[in-house]
Amino acid sequence: MNTVLPCVAASDTATAPRILPPRRVSVAPMLEWSDRHCRQFHRHITRHTWLYTEMVTTGSLLHGDLQRHLEFNPDEHPLALQLGGSEPADLAHGARLGEQWGYDEINLNCGCPSERVQKGAFGACLMAEPQLVADCVKAMKDVVSIDVTVKHRIGIDDVDSYEFMRDFVGTVAEAGCRTFIVHARNAILKGLTPRENREIPPLKYDYAYRLKKEFPELEIILNGGIKTAEEMDLHLQHVDGVMIGREAYHNPYFMATFDERFYGDATPVKTREEILHCMIPYIYRQLELYGNNGKGLRLNSVIRHMLGLMMGLVGARAFRQTLSDSKKLAQGKPEILLEAFERMQSVTTYDRNQEEAR
């Protein structure tokens, strides 16, 4: 029978005053991925890396369920709330709520290229209106004491000159924004899907490097296509921070070295097995609070974020298969994590080689 081991909390920030680490490394806001269950899981891997919410629109905060959109687990800090919107007053309202709920940063989305976001006149299309973005930033800064930051692309459609991005940043910086997260690709507003926009437009890291040289007083964080710690080391020679996205989601244990490598914290890192044991009581609590006898939170809502935990190990495929078994998931038992781990351990190198040869 599986035995759940005791779990050390991801952090003690729920009871101690928060001392925020620098934004040397952060995990990008990812729609439908970086929810609070994903962030709780990531926090067991890295204590200091900044985490970002999915984009929350101002309309959701004006007319929706605040608890649903703003609730987070206390040990997710440092944590930023990303807002989507283009009306200064609405964004100020959202920023004020974010600070009241305990977020450490408010980030304005000026980089999402989806048609749905464009219809709301925000996201990447805001780069064409730098003064409006400046007005939005000022409105938010006027009502909160925490940092207000902007995440943006290097350009939109066929406008991709460095000067376009530089002028955008310069205008918004005059409104008091000190931190810019540069997704180093153009946003193609017509003709490419959001996924294609993350892959097809070429990366131009040098734009972010030049931006830091031209605005040394600003905090410049680079985002886009970063997959290894060695790449992060190289970028950090030119910018203040790096933001990773899909690699953090698909290969989360990649982040296990971050605290020591980028923050000088040599505290022992949890093993993959220890992380599984830590997530089990968390899942039980979430199911008890929000499960509603199967009508609310489902087990897979949390489990799905953990499929990549064993990436690169012998038996990783068996681990994923177990966690994707609909019949097992329907039983609603978090111990499926331990079952998946045990199945993974039973797979030998020979078994994997035979599978790959088929």
Which residues does the annotation mark as catalytic? 112
| Annotated binding-site members for FMN | 29-31, 82, 151, 183, 223-225, 245-246
| Annotated binding-site members | 29-31, 82, 151, 183, 223-225, 245-246
3-state SS of the chain?
A: CCCCCCCCCCCCCCCCCCCCCCCCEEECCCCCCCCHHHHHHHHCCCCCCEEECCCEEHHHHHHCCHHHHHCCCHHHCCEEEEEECCCHHHHHHHHHHHHHHCCCEEEEEECCCCHHHHHCCCHHHHHHCHHHHHHHHHHHHCCCCCEEEEEEEEEECCECCHHHHHHHHHHHHCCCCCEEEEEEEEECCCCCCHHHHCCCCCCCHHHHHHHHHHCCCCEEEEECCCCCHHHHHHHCCCCCEEEECHHHHHCHHHHHHHHHHHHCCCCCCCCHHHHHHHHHHHHHHHHHHHCHHHCCCCCHHHHHHHCCCCCCCCCHHHHHHHHCCHHHHHCCCCCHHHHHHHHHHHCCHHHHHHHHHC
